[in-house]
């Protein structure tokens, strides 16, 4: 997905959930000690354990900006793009993959993934960023991801490849856990921007291996699914370790973990948008 907080001179990562560059970190602990320690840990950890394709996001942003500017002159809304992209991806994955049309399914899913990246660019240009858009974007991403691996698992099961079908389902569950770990950490006021395989990397590996398999390349789908299972597991572990270390740092500073949102935001009954980017 693309960022709602992009600027014309400094493109940001492609996510509607990413904060503005230079925006102050939220103070979720009294005195700010907890937030400062967690932010410092997250920054250091991200430098050495960041997602593999993060460096490409600014270039994709520049590439998509002209299309976003053209769409900004139409009645199309960012949320409409998000919903359309997810519906197209789900339809393609659950219709083409189970029937063995792996290459066609990959092309359809890739098209709608790229189209869906326009939502954040359009939101930035129209000035319609908000918590609802970020929530809708992240939630529908999970549905699209699940459709891809569910479709592959159905086809693998129908063709007698039971072990690989289980691996595909494992990738589905592991991807959900990776995203949940980040969302839960952000709900506690922690940054969790670590992990070598975020959503972009997972989709790239899964769709590329499926497409090549559809073209007749042997063993590539098995290699891709096993690799993805390992990378998703490693990423989940990295996020658990990062959050554990951050909470221990907070406890050492004399702050109580798990109390984010119980300050001013908790008293007013409102919550802040998630701080993380692509999940």
Give the pLDDT confidence score for residue 202 in this predicted structure: 92
Give the pLDDT confidence score for residue 26 in this predicted structure: 39
Give the integer Cα–Cα distance in Å for 134 and 82: 10
Give the pLDDT confidence score for residue 37 in this predicted structure: 44
Which residue spans within the chain are E strands per DSSP?
Answer: none
DSSP string, 72-109: TTSS--HHHHHHHHHHHHHHHHHHHTTTT-HHHHHHHH
Give the pLDDT confidence score for residue 8 in this predicted structure: 35
Give the pLDDT confidence score for residue 191 in this predicted structure: 86
Q: Which domains does the chain have, with CATH numbers?
A: 37-252 (1.20.120.1760)
Give the pLDDT confidence score for residue 59 in this predicted structure: 77
Give the integer Cα–Cα distance in Å for 131 and 123: 12
Angle (CA) 188 141 190, round 5°: 15
Using alpha carbons, list the distances in angstroms from residue 242 to 27, 38, 184. Answer: 19, 9, 13
Cβ–Cβ < 8 Å for 23, 7: no
To the query of whether residue 116 is one of the catalytic residues in this protein, the response is no
Comparing CA positions, the residue from 278, 250, 268 lying closest to residue 2 is 278
Comparing CA positions, the residue from 113, 116, 94 lying closest to residue 105 is 94
Give the pLDDT confidence score for residue 116 in this predicted structure: 78
Q: What is the pTM of this model?
A: 0.73
Give the pLDDT confidence score for residue 253 in this predicted structure: 66
Per-residue pLDDT of the chain (279 residues; tens, 9 = 90+): 443 333 333 444 355 655 444 444 433 334 344 444 444 444 444 443 455 566 677 777 788 888 888 888 889 899 999 999 999 999 999 999 999 999 999 999 999 988 878 888 888 888 887 888 889 988 999 999 999 999 999 999 999 999 999 999 999 999 999 999 999 999 999 988 888 988 888 999 999 999 999 999 999 999 999 999 999 999 999 999 999 998 887 776 665 455 544 444 444 444 444 444 456
Structural element, H or E, at residue 115: helix 102-116
Largest separation between any pair of C-alpha atoms in the chain? 60
Give the integer Cα–Cα distance in Å for 20 and 157: 44
Out of 119, 141, 145, 193, the active site residue is 141
Place of tokens 């991807």: 175
Give the pLDDT confidence score for residue 40 in this predicted structure: 45
């Amino acid at each position: 997905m693309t960022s709602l907080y992009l600027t014309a001179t400094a493109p940001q990562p492609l996510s509607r959930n990413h904060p503005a560059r230079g925006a102050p970190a939220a103070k979720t602990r009294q005195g700010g000690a907890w937030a400062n320690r967690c932010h410092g840990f997250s920054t250091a950890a991200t430098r050495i354990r960041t997602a593999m394709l993060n460096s490409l996001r600014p270039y994709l942003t520049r590439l998509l900006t002209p299309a976003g500017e053209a769409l900004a002159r139409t009645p199309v809304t960012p949320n409409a793009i998000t919903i359309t992209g997810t519906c197209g991806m789900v339809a393609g994955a659950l219709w083409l993959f189970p029937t063995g049309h792996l290459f066609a399914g990959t092309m359809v899913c890739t098209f709608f993934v790229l189209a869906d990246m326009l939502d954040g660019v359009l939101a930035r240009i129209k000035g319609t960023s908000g918590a609802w858009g970020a929530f809708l974007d992240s939630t529908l991403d999970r549905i699209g991801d699940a459709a891809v691996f569910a479709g592959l698992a159905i086809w693998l099961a129908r063709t007698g490849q039971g072990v690989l079908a289980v691996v595909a389902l494992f990738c589905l569950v592991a991807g959900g856990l990776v995203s949940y770990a980040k969302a839960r950490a952000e709900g506690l006021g922690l940054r969790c921007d670590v992990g070598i395989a975020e959503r972009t990397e997972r989709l790239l590996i899964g769709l590329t291996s499926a497409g090549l398999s559809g073209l007749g390349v042997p063993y590539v789908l098995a290699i891709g699914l096993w690799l993805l299972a390992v990378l998703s597991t490693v990423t989940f572990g990295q996020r658990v370790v990062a959050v554990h270390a951050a909470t221990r740092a907070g406890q050492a500073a004399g702050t109580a973990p798990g109390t984010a949102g119980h300050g001013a935001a908790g008293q007013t009954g409102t919550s802040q948008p998630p701080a993380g980017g692509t999940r």
